[in-house]
Structures are given as structure tokens and as C-alpha cells.
Amino acid sequence: MRPVRTKAIDGTADSWSLPVMAYTLTSLPPLPFDTVIDVRAPSEFAEDHMPGAINLPVLSDAERARVGTIYVRQDRFLARKIGAALVARNAAVHIEGPLADKEGGWRPLVYCWRGGQRSGSFASILSQIGWRVEVVEGGYRSYRRLVSRLLYDTPLPHRLVLVDGGTGTGKTQLLQRMARDGAQVIDLEGLARHRGSNFGGWDGGQPAQKMFESHLAQVVTGLDPARPVFVEAESSSIGRVKLPPALWQAMGTAPVVRIEVPLSARARFLTTTYPDLTADAALLERRIESLKPYHPGDRIAAWHRLAHEGRYETLAEGLIEAHYDPRYRRPGGAERVELGTVAVPELTEAEIARAAERVMALGEAKG
């Protein structure tokens, strides 16, 4: 991946290239920055930011809107003057607050939307204190171009292996175990903060699309193309976030390892995997109601009765048989290679560990 350039503020160092995508990858050598600071407004930071960055806005959302309005509708010089005063005021708050304990050797890297006035002004103030601060040239936009190039414009060089199986077969737990055992894994549901079904939302909601892609790109850049990468078979969307083209295309032709688990074990597993639903009757009722477009009224009513009676395993079996298995069964394509099937009799820690070994062996044996 091509790097993003940075530039020194105090003139003591030449410009040099920095692989921004590698900020928080512990497998790489430490970078000469202690803190990455995003000085954009909170709403900009919330939508997306460089992984590991902290937000020290030099203009709030309201202040940014005010200065922009004056710049466009009134007078550019007045907007710059008001903006400078606000930046100085907010910079003082940050210096006396979050940055108060920073020693003389602290090295920050600062960026804003396009590496212009906001980051330059804040970096100049920090450099006057004596800190060796640098600014990302082109700001967040240059970083975002790297992410887009990786996930939209360039085929992934990695050899993916899909782990597929019906709802309740413990694929997420299996991948987590494989990661602990040293396999390369992309946890798409973890990155998307969603379990990939009508019942799958996480507390706190999902990240914005750009934030999802930033974290995905961070993971991808840390993977070794010479080794297989295990990914759960997913649809093109997980909740409201979409898989970017490079990954989706690679998944479309990736070989598959299938996981098979008895229905009763899957139902038991689901009742422990979704404790938020069994503990919240109103939430469970809403999720069952969301299935109305796909099933006759008598079936929806029967599921509601099972929920009201607390017969969660029976409800889970019904949902698997009538909804999830028929709707989420993925046919193999002409180019799809089946590496094998791993049968898991019960989703205990010991059985998941044994299944992880078999899946990893099948994936390593391919090519």
C-alpha cells in the first residue's frame, strides 16, 4: 500500500513517508509518534477516523458550521479571524486538559479533513511549546483514499477460506478459537457489530460504513498473503454495513469448509448466544414481528406463544427450520471448491477446539 506523507512543523525534520494503515498494528515496528490526533469536529470523527486516533477538535460542530457560513455568505477574512480565535481557545482547553501531562519528548501526529488550516494551526501551537509535531499531508482525505484503494480498487492478494454453516453452528466462536490458535481470521461480524440476522443487533449499534471499512482495512493490512485467511461466509451486507467490493469478490470464489451441528445443539447454543433476547421480552417480540413479511400469521403467532411461555429452545428450533436454514442456505457456485465438512456433535469449548484444528488443517492443505 502506498504511504501517506507527513511533514514536520518546526523545520527540524525532512518530510518522510508513513504507512498510516499500520498505526495500531502491533506486529510492525513502533512508529515515531506517541499519539495520533484528529482535530476535526466530533461528528466527522464519529463517522470515521484513523484507527487509534483521539479526537481533540479545534472547532466544534456548531463552530465549524458558523465559520463556514460566514466564509461563504459574508466575508472570508472575517471567517478566518473568528476561526483563528476559536481554534486558539479550543487549543488552550486541550493543552490544559488532555495534554497537560505530556512531557517534552512527546511526539504527536495531527490531521484534519485535508491537512489545511485546522491541523496546521493546532500543530503550530504545539510546536511552539517544543513538541516535535507532524501533520498528515492531505489530511483524512489522503488516508481515506488509501482505504478506498485497498478495499475498492485492488484485488485482495490473500487466499481466503470461507467457514460456512447454518445459524447456530458456532461459526463466530469457532473463528475466535482459530485466531487464538494462530490462524489468520477476519471477524466480519465483530467489525460490523452485528450477528448477521434479524436477531443479530449488538448493543450500541453498528459503526458507520466508513468506520467499518477503516477497521477492516486495518485488519487486512496486517495479514500475511502467504497464509490462508479464514472468514465466515456472509451476505454482501451485515446489518446495514456492506462488504466492500475487493473482499466480496474474493469471498465469491473462495473455497469453503462447512460446519454441521445437530439441530438440538444449535437451538441450545442460540439460547445462550442471544441472552439479550431471552432477557428482554419486548425486544424478542419485536424481532419475531419483524419476520411477518416472510411467514404466515399462524406461524408467527405460534412463535409468540413459545416466547411468552419461555420455551426458548423450541422457539429456536422452529426459527432455524422454518426461517434461517431455508433463507440462508448458500448454494455452491461453479467455481466454488468444497474443502470438506467438519461435524461438531455439541458446541462445547472442547468440541469447538477440536473443530478449529480440523478447519485449520483443511484450509492449510489447500494450495
Supply the residues annotated as catalytic: 112
C-alpha 219/C-alpha 212 separation (Å) is 11
For residue 72, the tally of other CB atoms under 10 A from its CB is 9
Rounded-to-10 torsion of CA 85, 89, 91, 94: -170
The CA-CA-CA angle for residues 164, 169, 173, to 5°, reads 90
For residue 297, the tally of other CB atoms under 10 A from its CB is 8
CB 209 within 8 A of CB 239: no
Query: Among candidates 243, 248, 180, which has minimal Cα distance to 213?
Result: 243
Cell 523545520 locates to 11
CB 113 within 8 A of CB 138: no
Q: Per residue in 155-193, is it b (16+ CB within 10 Å) or e — as a string? A: ebebbbbbbbbbbbbbbbbbbbbbeeeebbbbbbbbbbb
For residue 343, list its beta bridge partners.
Answer: 260
